[in-house]
Structure 1
């Protein structure tokens, strides 16, 4: 009996722990046969401890490869000319990609057969195998990252008096039936790879930049941090009706909450980009990736029609009582502005959805901004300005320039740096460590 290595045949003179790489490669490709006790030339050299080696192989399959591959493996003890060797037949698996459990779903853990060698699979190849096996549902697909923790989610469950157990994780779609974390699990884990990018601008455009931050972690942490950040910048204006004082926020809190929830629950996470929040003096913009689900028009969504893209994520947010009913987000946002002179705007384009919440007090702010705009524009090309720069920009004398700078300091638009002839002014940036 003479054997030769090929794309479907591998020869091993002795058993080593590297054998599991060959098994994974065959299971991920077209299957194959591994002979142990046969040298590279194809000669049968035999094994002194064949029974023990068979036991080692069985243990390795059970402990080192995920998902369970045992049903696709057949191990036979062969004999020729009083020499014992092992024939290990690997069928192509139905739950690809198979991977080394200590390496995870990444190139160092996933192998494919290439010619007569077993090579690491690329990340694109791994994603393609996952999609072919698990289907098109992003949430249900296996996560490429398996080293996940759920500290934030566990705390959210505790706050609501709920248990966070392995059974719950499987019911929620965080963990698959064969104990592998899904993309749903990745989204609510502390290692979530998506983020929210927050930018604050001085005026009504992007010319004068004030601050920015990136919010990461579990989607629940991102939701909390994003709301706190907006709340920090969400000004309050007091109005009087007779002797009754009413405090009114620039942006209705319920509208902010609904817009954030919609952006997080309904975005398309198969896109790797971030959700964007841009805060201007007259509006708050929230831009999420993916747009409306195919077949659902903006007009239909405005009427309350709903088609959930991330059903498991929406179900979890519903269970946590963060959303009350599907399809009510837009109507709730609109109702927050009922009777006001400004209205929210919604824009749906291919690949993105934008919600614009207008500042209720924008008209008064705009008049103030126009007054100070010539001075604010000085900061477009430089970090600091001097009083003489203001005099030149306004075409005024020293007294008027001093008064304008003083007013801007009192309104928190700029800060004074230094004294005397070294006095300079900078745009005031609010503390971003919230």
Structure 2
């Protein structure tokens, strides 16, 4: 590994963190910072990665303005048997970002240039500020102010969050004037937004068979209902043997899920047009409004560069585990499908998944399981409420090894988690 315009190494967490983060937020492509790798690329690792992650999140949240929530991700990666902390940073939609204690000045406003961060000139700062997006969900006023959030609170509690009186404020659901913003409207128990799943008998829109509607509720609940409906329509044939799993669906389920969630998170709701999902005899089509998010080029889009249009939604979807990692969705789709399934226009982004014919071997996926993964499946069959810690003890493996293998099983849609981390159970798909 080497440093580049999008990659920065740090042997240890130091005082320059905020400068590097601001530099990537103001850079058109975002970037990644690795803590535990020296400048020459040697992996030195870190001790107590959990504590370092907590400190990083706290510093980015509190020391940088405008709000960075939904624009960064902090994870632990294992490299050469050593833990490294990885910070993934999106290009921000409200440039210029700056270090609070220096204000919107050259000392506070920095940008990535090659492998360094440089101070912006006042001309650059003024230009970016004049272009700052003013129609973001956080700044748009909700058409209703009598909003409630029982559904949203349930999702957070199921994911282990202890909620307090500042819950809505922490999610940035208020405008600067203290009124509910449009992000709050989308996440509220009741709203006027509905997403449609239309099913046709042929290859065009002449013969409509079904027009299911999911909405007028929290966008999280509407998303789950839409995903469930499409999963039912995405017929599957599965065979599991002692060594491999063979599955064939009309459309790859992982790619379909990523495309649906991307469409919902990055849709331009300011024009009142929600995403649309259509099923034809030969394809599944997902259409979102607003074109490419934040005017990314197509090349940057396909590279997985993250620039969320709706950072408030991104933050919530990550909290409730509908999104795993920034910038991962498009890359997962491209592992299975060609770029040609994406169609771009100034106002819309369309993804069209071709349906596999019966008997067609194209897209059939054979997944080889290692011994640990087979043993994990065996234990889940015996007790689907078993915890990862219990599996670790029974198999005499480290918790990290079990987590890594179960994550792989989830990514391949072999197992899914039903319910919360605390009270839920494992299901073998």
Considering only CA atoms, is the larger Rg found in Structure 1 or Structure 2?
1
Please give the TM-score of this superposition, normalised by the length of structure 2: 0.49
Q: 1 or 2 for the larger relative contact order (CA 8 Å, sep ≥6)? A: 2
